[in-house]
Structure 1
Amino acid sequence: MNISPLQKARYEYNPKLPAILRGKLTNLSPVSGEPTCPVADADKIKEFCPHTCFLPAVSFVEGKHEGLTRAMTVGVILSGGQAPGGHNVISGLFDGLKALNKDNRLIGFKGGPSGLISDSFIEITEKFLAPYRNTGGFDIIGSGRTKLETEDQFDKCIATCRSHGVNAVVIIGGDDSNTNAAILAEYFIRKNAGIQVIGCPKTIDGDLKNDNIEISFGFDTATKTYSELIGNLERDANSAKKYWHFIKLMGRSASHIALECALQTQPNVTLISEEIEENKTSLSDVVDYIASAVAKRAANGNNFGIVLIPEGLVEFIPEVKALIGELNDLLAKEGNAYSLLSNDKARQEFIASHLSTTSATAFAFLPDGIRKQLLMDRDPHGNVQVSRIETEKLLIELVTQRLADWKKEGKFSGSFNALNHFFGYEGRCAFPSNFDADYCYSLGTNAALLIACGLTGYLSSITNLSAPADQWKAGGIPVTMMMNMEQRHGEQKPVIRKALVDLKDKPFTYFAQHRDTWAVETAYTYPGAIQYYGPAEVCDRPTMTLLLEQGK
């Protein structure tokens, strides 16, 4: 098979580990801290997870711990959307298990959680693993979005594990996947199945985090990939001097990606969904905000610029959020009557007649194409598929109209030519940065150690991540520590709380202090491509978000 020189070199890259994990793993011992508590609704979480709620966080120190060298068979699952570094979690897990006992085995369940239910698997060996080390993607065993939530599914998982002698399952996923991991761990304890469950924090969206999960893996690589592209467009815009680029970035529930890319590239306008919701900013006000930046730059002779837009923006604009909620309910209740209508005009008139006055006004304000997108097929949960709404095109159309109105009023005399982009899938399977390669390998090695120590219901935790890798700290936290109760499918369920952009934290504060300058001036910075070889300050640098959060 022909491979690129970079691909070959990355296979041979030796990921860096925290100092505590670089020696003999069999010489380590876990140390328990104080009992932890869920972020909210502790009593309710305790009802669902009586065995794993209030467990202590653990860290590792040198010392003997009985059982570390016992023979084990471990299963691993990749769950949810891809994120750079998943292959290295599996690599670290494999190498960690072999370092503890050369007879330990690792089984990969194919296609996500469904592979565990249906017993679709492959044994991971050194030869099989070699072409996947330090590479992007989840193609080693595939991924899936099957939710593990019924007793029938749990029992099938037990049966599969017992058929292979599996002692523990590692679930590599985001907030939903690790919520499933917590519930699965609890069920295994209740059934006395003797199967441990350990999670690893994955999501490029960056919304799975707290003091012990400082960053989810994949975020570093994805934001650096997007920032390179944004920087390229900034350079092009500053060269051609005639285009405004409207760029939608992945991140439905949180704006961490947009904020990090803004910190890396200093664009003219960046919308932060959490701020828009906090300030109850209307769609019209959002349009005014962008149009004002266009007008100010035009007054200085700069008829070009860059606008960053979070994927989930529309769900945070109050009147659009209310509209989407009404549409979801309406189409759930009146879906049959709606489906019998023969053309778009009849469908939109039907919808408008069933909406509240406020939502009907918001619906009428939207361009026809966006109205159609809001009425597309729902996801399995009955919700609008936000990623399919072309928010960047919506804003271009509305800003174009606003500037045309201002031109008639003598408030705008420049030109406005806009291009739209969506950066999403480009970042999910990129070659992991050195940071993600090292971090993920550490998460996997650490997970092997958590299993050997007999722990279950824990997330692998590597902290102090703004420091060089040898100063990182290894341990684990109970998944229940990150949970609260939320309404799902009409009932209250325990779930990991999504971490949204904190408007009082240092990354947003820094951004807010500089954005007015960036809006008017051409202050672009150009991150360039991810670097894998060279000085550590270039190749191993973590995200701006992480550096600012940790005061670096």
Structure 2
Amino acid sequence: MKISSLQKARYEYSPKLPGMLRHGISAICVKEGEETQSVADQETIKALFPNTYGKKEITFEKGENTSEAKKQVVGVILSGGQAPGGHNVICGLYDALKATNPENELYGFKNGPSGLIEDDYLIFDDEYIDEYRNTGGFDIIGSGRTKLETQEQFAVAAEVCKKHGITAIVIIGGDDSNTNAAVLAEYFAANNTGVQVIGCPKTIDGDLKNEDIECSFGFDTATKTYSELIGNIERDANSAKKYWHFIKVMGRSASHVALECALETQPNICLVSEEVSAKKMSLSQIADYIADSVEKRAAKGMNFGVAIIPEGVVEFVPEFSKLIAEINELLAGSKADEFNALPTWKDKYAFIENGLTKESMDVFAILPEGIQQQLFLERDPHGNVQVSLIESEKLFSALVADKLAERKEAGTYKGKFNALHHFFGYEGRCAFPSNFDADYCYSLGYNAFMLIQYGYTGYLSKISNLSKPANEWVAGGMPITKMMNIERRHGEDKPVIKKALVELEGKPFKYFEAHREEWAENTCYVYPGAIQYYGPADVCDITTKTLALEQGE
């Protein structure tokens, strides 16, 4: 296989570990902290997790290793969407496992949780692992979105583990995957299988975060990758001086990615879904907000700009959410067949007009025809609108164009408005991990094995103090149940890890809020450039602006 010079150099990079993990396996001891409770719904969560609830937080320190010496056979699973650094979690896990006992084995279950159910695996060795160190992606064993949530699945998983003598499973995933890890850990404990389960916090969306998990892995690399591209577009916009670029970035439920990219690049506009929801902003108000920036800049002779749009923002607009709910109801059951049988879009439009309330029809009517058709023609197998497919960057640029046309007619706007559109998603999920993510992920994997060696289950591998240099990071673990609450999912109450949305009183948003007026009117662009792997630490090892602001750096 031909490899690039960068790939070869990254194979040879030695990730930095937290200080207490550098002493060697035999010199790491455990310090137990307070017993924990879930963030909400304590009695319900406790009843659902009688064997794994209320456990103590733990920290690893320098001292004599008192764990039981036994052969460990560990299975690892990559679950959900890709995130830069996933390979290094597995490398850290493998290295700690082999350093403890060369006889220990690591099974990689292929293509996500389904690999465990289907007993589809490979056994890692040095030669295989070394080809993936410090590289991006999840191609080391593949990933998948199968959920481990039924008793039948758990029973099969227990049988597969028994067959191979597996003592622990490490699940690398986001909030849903780690919720499933907690449920699996409870099943294994309740049925005395002897199999431990450890989770690792992954998501580029940044919404797996709380007082214990300062940052999910992959967020650092993904936002730096997007910010490089946005900076390049800003440079182009400032060169050509004739285009407004509407850039959609990942973030269905939370706007952490959009906000971090805005802090990195200082665009003219960045929408934050959580603010849209809190202020109950309408589509018209959002369009006016962007049009104000276009108008002010045009008055200064600047008919160009950059707007960042989180992919899930339309779901946070109350009137739009109501419209979606009505559409889903309108097309329920046999009505969908009736709608689909209509021969022309004009006939379909009349059907829609007859079926929606006046309020929702008013919203529907202002949408560009392409978006209208997306809402009705691209639905999931249950007949529901696929909101994630809505091209919100095109929606807002079209609404802004309409607003500007009105202002031109009123004589308040005399500029030119030409919009271009971009969506940055997959570009950031499998990049070579930044030094921060390479170090953080390796530490998470190494630390996961220490949790296994000391007998913990239902825990999340936890590395904290992340805004400081790696030698000051603190390694430990926390019970996954501590992060849980009860939410309504598909008509049922379920225990789930609580998603972290952008806090409108938090330091990152407050910094953005204090500067966005100036950015909206003036050209204050910052060009971050490519991720730096070599050079001064203040260039190569810096954390995200979000993490630095949150930690008071």
TM > 0.5 between the two?
A: yes
Contact 1:68–1:100, Cα closer than 8 Å, also in 2: no
Cα deviation for residue 418 of structure 1 reads 0.9
Instruction: Give distance in 1, aligned partners of 2:384 and 2:538.
Output: 44
Q: Partner of 1:153 in structure 2?
A: 153
Correspondence for 2:123: 123
Q: Is the 8 Å Cα contact of residues 486 and 493 (structure 1) preserved in structure 2? A: yes
Q: How does 1:375-386 map to 2 (within 5 A)?
A: 375-379=376-380, 383-386=384-387
Match of 2:60 in 1: 60
Alignment of 1:78-477 (within 5 A): 78-333=78-333, 334-379=335-380, 383-477=384-478
Helix, strand or coil at the partner of 1:375? helix
Letter in 1 for 2:163: S
The answer to whether the 8 A contact 2:201-2:461 is kept is yes
Aligned mates of 1:38, 1:244 — CA distance in 2: 46
Match in the other structure for 1:536: 537
Task: Say if 1:382 and 1:489 are closer, same or farther in 2 by CA, change over 3 A.
Answer: farther
Given residue 481 of structure 1, which amino acid in structure 2 is its aligned partner?
A: K
2: CA distance between counterparts of 1:149 and 1:57?
Answer: 25
CA distance in 1, matches of 2:207, 2:227: 19
Match of 2:509 in 1: 508
Q: 1:546 corresponds to which residue? A: 547
- Residues in 2 aligned to 1:330 and 1:42: alpha-carbon distance in whole angstroms: 39
Deviations 1:260-285 (Å, cap 9, x if unpaired)? 00000000001000001000011000
Range 299-308 or range 42-51, more displaced? 42-51
Looking at structure 1, the residues matched to 165 and 329 of structure 2 have their Cα atoms a distance apart, in angstroms, of: 46
Letter of the aligned partner of 2:38 in structure 1? P
The amino acid of 1:465's aligned partner reads L
2:153 and 2:353 mapped to 1: Cα distance?
Answer: 42
Q: Deviation per CA, 1:451-494: give whole Å up to 9, x if none.
A: 11110101100000000000000001111111111111111000
Contact between 2:25 and 2:65, CA under 8 Å: does it hold in 1? no
Identical-residue share of aligned pairs (%): 63
Q: CA deviation at 1:332?
A: 3.7
Secondary structure of 1:153's match? helix
Whole-Å separation in 1 of the counterparts to 2:214 and 2:265: 22
Distance 2:198 2:381 in 1: 27
Q: Which whole-Å deviations, capped at 9, do the CAs of 1:242-295 have from their partners, x for residues lacking one? A: 111100000000000000000000000010000010000110000000000000
Q: Distance in 2 between matches of 1:331 and 1:47?
A: 39
Runs of 4+ in 1 over 6 A off after TM superposition: none
What do the CA deviations read for 1:157-202 (whole angstroms, capped 9, x no partner)? 1111111111110000001100100111111111111111100000
CA RMSD of aligned residues (A): 1.3
List per-residue Cα deviations over 1:120-158 (Å, max 9, x = no partner): 100111111111110000001000000111111111111
Match of 1:50 in 2: 50
- After TM superposition, the structure 1 stretch with the greater mean CA deviation from structure 2, 339-348 or 163-172, is 339-348
Structure 1 Cα separation of the partners of residues 68 and 90 of structure 2: 19
CA distance 1:135–1:409, shift in 2 (3 Å): same
Work out the CA distance in 1 between the residues paired with 2:168 and 2:331: 43
Q: Which amino acid aligns with 1:374?
A: L
Determine if contact 1:30/1:59 at 8 Å carries over to the other structure: yes
SS at match of 1:122: strand
Question: How big is the shift at 1:25?
Answer: 1.5
Determine helix, strand or coil for the equivalent of 1:132.
coil
C-alpha distance in 1 between matches for 2:349 and 2:451: 55
CA contact (8 A) 1:273 1:310 kept: yes
Count of residue pairs brought into register by the alignment: 552
TM-score normalised by structure 1 residue count: 0.98
Q: Distance in 2 between matches of 1:342 and 1:184?
A: 50
Which stretch has the larger CA shift, 322-331 or 471-480? Answer: 322-331
320-329 or 13-22: which moved more?
Answer: 320-329
- Give the deviation of 1:344 after TM superposition: 3.1
SS of match in other structure, 2:129: helix
State the 1:322 CA deviation.
Answer: 1.4
In the alignment, the residues of structure 2 paired with residue 228 and residue 492 of structure 1 have an alpha-carbon distance, to the nearest angstrom, of 41
In structure 2, the residue corresponding to 1:60 is in which secondary structure? strand
1:26·1:68 contact (CA, 8 Å) conserved in 2? no
Find the counterpart in structure 2 of residue 490 from structure 1.
491
Distance 1:155 1:355, change over 3 A: same
Deviation of 1:211 after TM superposition, in Å, equals 1.6
Counterpart CA distance in 1 for 2:235 and 2:217 is 29
Q: CA deviation at 1:381?
A: 7.0
State the distance in 1 between where 2:182 and 2:499 align: 15
Deviates more, 1:385-394 or 1:331-340: 331-340
Indicate if the aligned counterparts of 1:214 and 1:546 stay in contact, CA closer than 8 A: yes
How far 1:377 moved relative to its partner? 4.0
Letter in 1 for 2:480: V
CA shift, 1:40, in A, is: 1.2
| TM-score normalised per structure 2 | 0.98
The match for 1:526 is 527
Q: Which consecutive residues of structure 1, in runs of 5 or more, have no partner in the other structure?
A: none
Partner Cα separation in structure 1 for residue 193 and residue 378 of structure 2: 41
1:35 aligns with 2:35: yes
Q: Kindly provide the amino acid, as one letter, of the partner of residue 266 in structure 1.
A: Q
Look up the equivalent residue of 1:434 and give its one-letter code.
N
CA distance in 2, matches of 1:383, 1:230: 33
Which amino acid is 1:38 matched to?
S
Contact kept, 8 Å, 2:336 with 2:383, in 1: the verdict is no
TM-superposed deviation, 1:84: 0.3
Cα pair distance change 1:279/1:23, threshold 3 Å: same
Deviations 1:436-457 (A, max 9, x none): 0000000000000001111010
CA distance in 2 between partners of 1:312 and 1:169 (Å): 33
The answer (yes or no) to whether the contact 1:311–1:386 under 8 Å persists in 2 is no
Which letter does structure 1 place at the counterpart of 2:438? A
